[in-house]
Structure 1
């Protein structure tokens, strides 16, 4: 039976332990744990806007000038195309994006943010940035910039 301190034998629980774990140098585990923490913080910050990290990501890409197709969104976000369809459907239902025929391929749709979508994204982005600053409070500005650079290299290998 677990003790009040959370450990099975009255010690420090696995969740409370920092260092000394066989996973301390397991980059895949560390990335997965950091991702889980980041998603939780991001989703909490986005709740007031009726968004979650995935829908926010679609909206962010729709705000730019790229005019991505749903297929491009799925590839970029590494999601199943059916997930992107559902995300775009929800954003469109809320009036934040619209689908337009792709001038280069009439069989495809591009996703474009509406004026309301652009305003929602601008406000939500501030909330996400604030949550990120709080989550990464232990990092110096230089560490944060380096982390961002390293993650970009991992996420978008050349």
Structure 2
């Protein structure tokens, strides 16, 4: 007989809920939510992104991206600038304030990860990370 704890999908769901709850609690100290962090983290890896690209890369509805970017802009963490080569388009870029907040939230992220993965040794943590990365990558 299968129980919930023998179902990998259910375990991933439960871990996601717990991780999201802990991470959101940490981010609230900065006035952010997990979706804001994801957007900041992505912006830190590029020179700027169109809102359409943010929607595609993060898997969020385009209207949610508009609201998230508005939030980050209001907080001074990101800004919209004219796109190079296309004055009609705007790219979203991370500000220095956004980089600072991201560094601070990264510390909180490490604390949450340490709490969640406490039962695992370093090699197990690395193996889990690699497996999750492979599963999470699109196609």
| Common fold by TM > 0.5 | yes
2:83 matches 1:99? no
Contact 1:41 1:132 in 2 (8 A): no
Displacement of 1:105: 4.3
Higher helix share: 2
The whole-number CA distance in structure 1 between the counterparts of 2:23 and 2:124 is: 20
Displacement of 1:157: 4.0
Q: Note closer, same or farther for the CA distance 1:139–1:70 as it changes in structure 2 (3 Å cut).
A: same
Give the equivalent residue in structure 1 for 2:4: 23
Q: Which runs of 5+ in 1 are unaligned?
A: 1-19
Displacement of 1:51: 0.9
- Matched pairs, number: 139
The whole-number CA distance in structure 2 between the counterparts of 1:151 and 1:105 is: 38
* Pairing partner for 1:133 from 97, 114, 121: 114
Give the equivalent residue in structure 1 for 2:101: 120
Q: Note closer, same or farther for the CA distance 1:66–1:145 as it changes in structure 2 (3 Å cut).
A: farther
The whole-number CA distance in structure 2 between the counterparts of 1:66 and 1:150 is: 28
Give the equivalent residue in structure 1 for 2:136: 155
* Pairing partner for 1:36 from 17, 28, 38: 17
Q: TM-score, normalised by structure 1?
A: 0.80
- When Rg is computed on C-alpha atoms for both structures, the one with the higher figure is 1
Q: Which runs of 5+ in 2 are unaligned?
A: none
Contact 1:61 1:68 in 2 (8 A): no
Q: Runs of 4 or more off by more than 6 Å in structure 1?
A: none
Q: Which piece of structure 1 moves more, 133-142 or 106-115?
A: 106-115
* Pairing partner for 1:86 from 45, 60, 67: 67
